[in-house]
Amino acid sequence: MEKGGQDNMVKTAVGVVGGAALLSPVGMPIVHGLAGLAVAGLGIFAAGSLAFKAVGAVTGMENPLQPKKPLDREEIR
């Protein structure tokens, strides 16, 4: 058997066993925990984005995440 074929077979077996473990009664709290982390992370991201935009609107600052356009030679003089 080729080395690549054996690696592929092992990856498939690990995937099947991992999926079966998550569907077992012991694995269900893990699935619920991962879903909770995803929802909490989305909430934190949304709150951070809103706070950044609010502070930018109040202070009138430029968005530091956007690339700045290069200065023309006439603007430098």
Note the pLDDT tens digit of each residue in 49-76: 888 888 877 777 666 666 667 766 665 5
Which pLDDT score, from 0 to 100, does residue 4 have?
61
- The pTM assigned to this predicted structure is 0.45
Instruction: Using pLDDT thresholds of 50, 70 and 90, give the confidence band for residue 8.
Output: confident
Q: Torsion-angle region of residue 60: left (phi > 0), alpha (psi -120 to 50) or beta?
A: left
Which residues are CB-contacts of 27 (< 8 A; sequence separation ≥ 6)? 21
Q: What is the pLDDT of residues 10-26, one digit of tens each?
A: 888 888 888 888 777 87
- Res. 2: pLDDT tops 60: no
Q: Which amino acid is at 42?
A: L
